[in-house]
Structure 1
Amino acid sequence: MVFIKVCTLASSSSGNCTLVSQGDTHLLIDAGISLRRITASLKALGLTPGDLTGVLVTHEHSDHIGGIRMLVKYHGTQILAPHIVARGLCGCFQELGGSASCFEAGAEFVLGELAVKSFPTPHDTPESVGYRFTDGKSSLVFVTDIGCITRTVLEAALGADMAVIEANHDVVMLKNGAYPSYLKRRILSERGHLSNDDSGSLACRLAGAGTKRILLAHLSKENNTPRLAFDTVGGALGRQGAVVGGDVELETAPADTMSRVYII
């Protein structure tokens, strides 16, 4: 039997890229690291950039799109993004030639062995989306770079077997840190990034609806630590009565290296 496989290649404010596979279908969620790093990571998994079915873009911040130009230039990789994001990418990258495949945020479509549902997310860009994947047997939701948990996000995420969710910052570390005031306000806003506490709230909702594996992603290097994110979200789950390591598996994604491969 063939399963959905997930591996983060990088997950931080410095660069984000995640591989989702099912059989011969291989999709990157974002490509915010160099082509060299993407190629090396794929090689470690027995793949090449030529094996990619496409790249699904969440939004156009540089830590999510930095590798797209070279992927398209050297490998002709298909790029898929919601309309406003696609227009922005075509404006930034001449290599795309206006040919990024676009869809309405909220659209559902099939890519190879995977059915994909996009959904709008609250972030400080003209357009931003998350994705839910299913092969008919199991499901994965991917939602990072959100300032708050909206009803739309919850409706898309609840019931997924595995969830990759943001745990960007610890509020106290951020407020007491060296970031300028305008940047702190941006991160803390409802169109910024999800705190560990809010991530814990989302994790509790997901676990209560049956999610068995949660991967915490997009941790800030300056305003968070993997231990702090894990303890905060794990503590919230524990207070709800969920046993971490029993009822639900909880891990943090590495910032600059590959995660292990998760099989759903």
Structure 2
Amino acid sequence: MKSASNISDLAHRQRIAPLGWVLIACRIALLLACVVTCVPLYYLCLPFTAANPAPRLFLRLVAAVVGLRLKTTGEHPAPSAFFLANHVSWLDIPAIAGVTGSAFVAHDGLASIGPLRWLCAMNDTVFIARHDRRSVAAQVHQVREALHDTGALTIFPEGTTGDGTQLLPFKSSLLSAIDADTEHVPVQPVWLDYGPRVQDVAWVGSEPGLANAMKILARWRPIPLTIHFLPPLLGEERTDRKAIARAARARIDAVMQKD
């Protein structure tokens, strides 16, 4: 249980100055402008191409508006790949999608928010019931179909956001979608590195999502993020879903420890 001093400190750190609210208002206006621009573009392109450019453009614009300053290092991401990334913030999604055009696997809690579900559907998001073990087989089938349809798909195998300083255990159930029978699809671990001030943006603990979003939108300083594309898994690293989870986590952890 948090002490009174810890709760007071949390409230103090989350207090937003008046100028911060001005910045929030400006950014929300810009984000709405991105929606108004990209949604018609999406429907305009829909009859002509399966690789609709509008969602990727929209998420790149979102990353820019919220202050992300992106760099990439390592192996060039394949256009068709399965990315396994650590999870720190909702910022991870526009960052990865803006760079790779990837779709995502997300928990079904997001599906209950109508406008957000609508936008996610445009980027071919796969919604899963995180705590419903009875539907794992159906979820694996969904993931396989999405990978076939979209080409690039990202899973956050920790299953939730961490503080960015260490990895949580990787869950392997959905990785059945990419075990031995789909070896032709590259499986590429990804480390999202927000630098030494990662805790300023990490969404952890009991912090409400809206509070975290407001905190990010009120920031005047840019948010540096380096996306490290690590070498794809090969051979014995892809024996089965547990081997995939173990190898991907080990790859990401190794580069985190070097930093």
TM-score, structure 1 length as denominator? 0.30
| Greater per-residue strand proportion | 1
| Greater per-residue helix proportion | 2
> Rg bigger for which structure?
2
TM-score, structure 2 length as denominator? 0.31
